Chain A
């Protein structure tokens, strides 16, 4: 076990380096984008003079490297700076929205992950039957249209026509947990449909890949029932790719849902990031991207640790 601990520590250390690289990358990418914050804020109303004044006021005339180091100096001490546009603290701007995003992601993941894996095992068990085909066609069709379009279809049938769920998920203070679940059901369902197919098909593939292995053959010849063969013998060895795809989809639930947020008017972090990029509000962009990067690093680390834990050979490298 101490090996794993050492690995986790080492990876967390490397994770910090990764975050640093991401922050440099993001900073200079935003610098390279055509137009700057002064032009973006003034929009169509920009003139050369007002842009110059605004640049001066926002301190944009310092060289890029100085501004980056300034920001980094603050960030190391836990101060992510203030939004260049509103002057409000980045922490205040992000915290509530990130919690909202986390809530929606958890909601969707709690439904989608068990559902997808169980379904994956079932279709692997009943491979090539009508059930297998139907489950595949349905899940594949649901990921074949852009996710906002899927959202529109769900809104049409579950909200406009039947009135079962609210069409927009605007949150207000003092909502009970039940109300919250009801208000956010449609976006959560959209996300479930978007991520299920990927995880289910990987589970199916990973299990089928192992079915011809000698030890499975052995178990089968012993007269074990098929479901037991799969759950007891195939699944434990199939975890590595499944865990990776699950991690990928969990990360997507946090970082990739901006279109779903827009369709359901859900105040998550995606919209904030898109707006901040459009306005070139660098501290906000930076903070959002670092949160996303940390999410990815942690989930990827969890996936790697999971892969190792589920494979004894990896646990004890020779």
Chain B
């Protein structure tokens, strides 16, 4: 082999190790550089996909933490809550790097024929940090924390169909549903459903911060820092770091400089404006992972002028998504098509034509609706999404070409979700990634959902939603979701400009798996248990 080829291979291996190219690309290029496929595979395993090794103190900076956060899973809301929960607590199931559903506390699960009864078998080894084994009672109490009349959990809506949770021995639970739901195991990955130790009276002890996750909390202060150490005998593979420190770094510049100066090893978000500049730093690896998180712009379908479907579609046509993706997300987003189903979710319907910027057609639709020279207010706040107000301003400029006047109203960051969302007829909203389209549609598009943010009522859509929910045949289900997507796209009241990618970064001496989970930033919020130090 020539020297030149050797150098090229070294570079390739380097790129592969840092996750900049995939295994398939690596194989392709190395074979082109003159290697046999077998040698290339060998090289990949030895050099690129080096085995994770244990040790070190992992410092991890998060972009969203509040001093008034608590350990109560029912009110988890910030990244600090969620990422800490994935580090010190366990869930029944978890989303794996390749997007499939894997086991966490539950080793296996199965449903009856109409998906109204689910049985979960728990791992026998799992134990809380206090030493107490995790039993069916703990799981039941933890799920019941989000059910019943007196719950204050934000996840109550997700479990309304659950009619009973019973135990069948110490390590088996049976969940009975009033209506079939084929996605229940997926639902169990929701960040609220962390398993906490049960008290004798059937409530849970969330206050102590005890959990059965890969790391246990040694000390911590909300909004500042948590120090954790490895939970020996954790029931799953991984947890390579000896200790983990989770820091709250709310300021974008603080995160960026802490990472650049090596003060932290990974951060959960980098500012998109500076993404290109950070990529030049050879000490850093930037990850840009397509996700199911979305920005939506709901219009009240029962209120003029949005009660006319032509107006709604004109609004959708008046948006130049490409320009918005380029200028607001700097390319770190997947173009959306006005239905809330991301390519990062299962059952994604291919082949639905993409709606693009067409001010002329928008104008003629408005003419048809008798609403030329339409003027509407669009509410936004930068706390929704970095650049949300800019995005609204840009959209207003684009819509001008279709003869639509959009007044951008910057709302106070404080209290946006209680005063603006679901109250103002047209606003900007950010949705976290949900595991399946069913969860998303049920939460925010079902006719009687509390968060039906566009007040959209479509009989056929709701009928299909219920059918698909309990359909265990995957291909039939996919067909239903395709039809629902078309309905949402052509009749729905929500403009969806894009699904935002997760853009995060780590020091080059941190090893990451080939595929990163897309449920949260930093490998599905599980960087602490899935990543390792390479030096």
Contacts and interface: CB of A to CB of B under 8 A. Distances in A.
B409 interface: no
B223 A275 contact: yes
Interface stretch (B152-160, B326-334, B357-365, B501-509): B152-160
A2 interface: no
Given A44-B417, A50-B153, A170-B225, A275 B251 contact: no
Given A50-B153, A167-B254, A267-B221, A160 B418 contact: no
Contact of A160 (B77, B225, B251, B261): B261
Interface stretch (B7-15, B64-72, B335-343, B523-531): B64-72
A39 B418 contact: yes
Interface string B214-251: 00000001111100000000000000000000011111
A39 to B, nearest CB: 4
A139 interface: no
28 contacts: A33-B415, A39-B415, A39-B417, A42-B152, A43-B154, A46-B154, A46-B417, A46-B418, A49-B156, A50-B156, A85-B75, A86-B70, A155-B257, A159-B257, A160-B257, A166-B261, A166-B263, A167-B261, A167-B263, A170-B247, A263-B251, A265-B248, A265-B258, A275-B68, A276-B67, A278-B66, A279-B66, A284-B68
B284 to A, nearest CB: 13
Contacts of B221: 267
B200 interface: no
A39 B529 CA distance: 33
B149 interface: yes
Interface string A138-164: 000000000010011001100110010
Contacts of B66: 275, 278-279
A159 B259 CA distance: 12
Give the secondary structure class of B's interface: loop
Contacts of A83: 68
Which range holds the interface residue count of chain B?
35 or more
A33 B249 CA distance: 27
Interface in A35-53: 35, 38-50, 53
Contacts of B367: none
B70 A85 contact: yes
Contacts of A42: 75, 77, 152, 154
Given A34-B419, A267-B224, A50 B152 contact: yes
Contacts of B418: 34-35, 39-40, 46
A279 B68 contact: yes
Contacts of A168: 247, 249, 254, 257-258, 263
Contacts of B96: none
B109 interface: no
Given A40-B418, A272-B67, A265 B247 contact: yes
Contacts of A41: 75, 77
Contacts of A44: 77, 154, 417, 421, 451
B473 interface: no
A281 B419 contact: no
A278 B415 CA distance: 7
A277 interface: yes
Of all A-B residue pairs in the complex, the 9 with the closest CB atoms, nearest first, are: A45-B154, A35-B418, A39-B418, A35-B415, A167-B257, A54-B152, A47-B450, A275-B67, A44-B417
Contacts of A167: 254, 257-258, 261, 263
A64 interface: no
B414 A53 contact: no
Nearest to B148: A53
Given A50-B152, A148-B251, A263-B253, 14 more contacts: A34-B419, A42-B75, A42-B77, A42-B152, A43-B154, A44-B154, A44-B417, A49-B149, A50-B151, A50-B153, A86-B222, A155-B253, A271-B223, A272-B223
Contacts of B247: 168, 170, 265
Interface of A: 33-35, 38-50, 53-54, 57, 83, 85-87, 93, 148, 151-152, 155-156, 159-160, 163, 166-168, 170, 172, 262-265, 267, 271-272, 275-279, 281, 284
Contacts of A264: 254
A86 B247 CA distance: 20
Given A83-B68, A155-B253, A160 B260 contact: yes
B350 interface: no
Nearest to A274: B67
A265 B153 contact: no
A262 B157 contact: no
Contacts of B459: none
B419 A35 contact: yes
Contacts of B257: 155-156, 159-160, 167-168
A47 B254 contact: no
B201 interface: no
Contacts of B77: 41-45
A262 B223 contact: no
A260 to B, nearest CB: 10
B150 interface: yes
A42 B263 CA distance: 33
Most buried by B among A34, A83, A281: A34
A39 B414 CA distance: 12
B381 to A, nearest CB: 12
B154 A85 contact: no
A47 B155 CA distance: 10
Contacts of B253: 148, 151-152, 155, 263
Given A33-B415, A45-B154, A53-B149, A271 B67 contact: yes
B256 to A, nearest CB: 9
B68 A85 contact: yes
Nearest to A167: B257
Contacts of A46: 154, 417-418
A157 to B, nearest CB: 12
Most buried by B among A53, A57, A265: A265
A262 B450 CA distance: 35
A93 B250 CA distance: 20
A301 B270 CA distance: 46
B199 to A, nearest CB: 16
Interface in B192-222: 207, 221-222
Contacts of B261: 159-160, 163, 166-167
Given A39-B418, A40-B418, A50-B154, A265 B68 contact: no
A277 B156 CA distance: 26
Interface string B423-458: 000000000000000000000000000110000000
A57 B415 contact: no
Interface in B391-420: 414-415, 417-419
